[in-house]
Amino acid sequence: MLKIINLSKTYQTKAEKKGLFRQTLVLDQISLQVKEGEFVSIVGPSGCGKSTLFNLISGLEKPEQGQILLKGREITGEKGHVSYMLQKDLLLPWRTVLDNCILGMELQGHSRKECRQKAQALLDEFALSAYSRSYPQALSGGMRQRVAFLRTMLANKELLLLDEPFGSLDAYTKSEMHEWLMSVWSKYRATILFITHDIEEALFLSDRIYVLSAQPAQVKISLEVNLPRPRSRKMLVREEFNELKKQLLQALFE
């Protein structure tokens, strides 16, 4: 589905002396791939360039070097090929839950009537049907994230980019969201690339995990998560889970 080859990105930043600029290498020869229907996570230190990588995949920024291929077609620097869910839900306060869900579809030129019909059919599955006429301020954090994820899915792209979607939630709500996301993903088998700082979250959700180094980011390891599905929270205390966790921690901190 997605193949990234030797991707490098540099930013120009102000130096200490007035009027001078310096080049800061953020991503250094990043290569990774995501198979169709796969759930792949990216972990790494804060500020290493994970969100920059998503900005490049989505076409919001362009790399100095490398290629981004989607189903064999180069999309480097092109927008409109992926759905991108940012860290904040970014729900519009003047729109109802239903109308927030359909925003991406409307921007693609679909009629509001068509969009609402399609979203309405999925609201129950996302446990949101009772809140379709409510406004974002009436929702809990977990519910807001479900709305944002439904909006991302309804954009109808082959690849979903999720940038720390549960980072602001408390531990209990996050745990509930993990199990909910797994149930939705198991049904629709969307192809997902997921950014997180939470190693247990990455292991619980993923088929494979890429660990990035500190800036300039490089791929340190690619770890296959050969844990059986469906997964439950009981898995967090099993020996095979903790062995994978140990490998990730070693890669992050070595």
Q: For residues 38 and 27, what is the distance between their CA atoms, to the nearest angstrom?
A: 23
pLDDT digits (tens, 9 = 90+) for 187-199: 888 899 999 989 9
- Domain boundary among the residues 156, 173, 189 is at 156
pLDDT at 21 over 80: no
For residues 78 and 58, what is the distance between their CA atoms, to the nearest angstrom?
Answer: 7
CA 202 vs. chain centroid, Å, equals 11
Report pLDDT for 195: 95
Report residue 160 as tokens.
């979903």
DSSP 172: H
Q: Say yes or no to pLDDT of 180 above 70.
A: yes
Please report the pLDDT score of residue 248 as a whole number: 94
Mind giving me the DSSP string for 95-162? S-HHHHHTHHHHHTT--HHHHHHHHHHHHTTTT-GGGTTS-GGGS-HHHHHHHHHHHHHHT--SEEEE
Do 92 and 100 contact (CB within 8 A), yes or no?
yes
Parent domain of 134 = 91-156
Number of domains, the chain = 2
Question: What's 205's domain CATH number?
Answer: 3.40.50.300
pTM (predicted TM-score): 0.90
**Number of Cβ atoms within 10 Å of the Cβ of 87:** 14
In the listed set 110, 133, 156, which residue is the last one of a domain according to the structure?
A: 156
Q: 57 with 78, same domain?
A: yes
Say if residue 253 is exposed, middle or buried (CB neighbours under 10 Å; 0-12, 13-18, 19+).
exposed
Do 166 and 247 lie in one domain? The reply is yes
**Residue that the structure tokens 């990730």 belong to:** 248
Last residue of a domain, one of 122, 156, 190: 156
- Intra-chain end-to-end CA distance of the chain, in Å: 31
State the SS3 of 25-52. EEEEEEEEEECCCCEEEEECCCCCCHHH
Question: Per-residue pLDDT tens for 45-80?
Answer: 888 899 999 999 999 999 999 999 999 999 999 998
- pLDDT number for residue 87: 81
Q: Predicted confidence band at 253 (pLDDT cuts at 50, 70, 90)?
A: confident
Give Cα separations from 172 to 139, 166, 177, 201, 214 (angstroms).
17, 11, 9, 13, 30
175 and 240 share one domain: yes
Evaluate if residue 210 carries a pLDDT over 90. yes
Q: What's the CA angle centered on 86, arms 55 and 119, to 5 degrees? A: 120
Residue 124 pLDDT class (50, 70, 90 cuts): confident
On whether both 139 and 211 belong to a single domain, the answer is: no
Mean pLDDT of the chain: 91
Q: What is the pLDDT of residue 19?
A: 64
Percent of the chain past pLDDT 90, that is, above it, reads: 59
Output the pLDDT for position 10.
93
User: Looking at the structure, do residues 196 and 147 belong to the same domain, yes or no?
Assistant: no
Q: Are residues 165 and 109 located together in one domain of the fold?
A: no
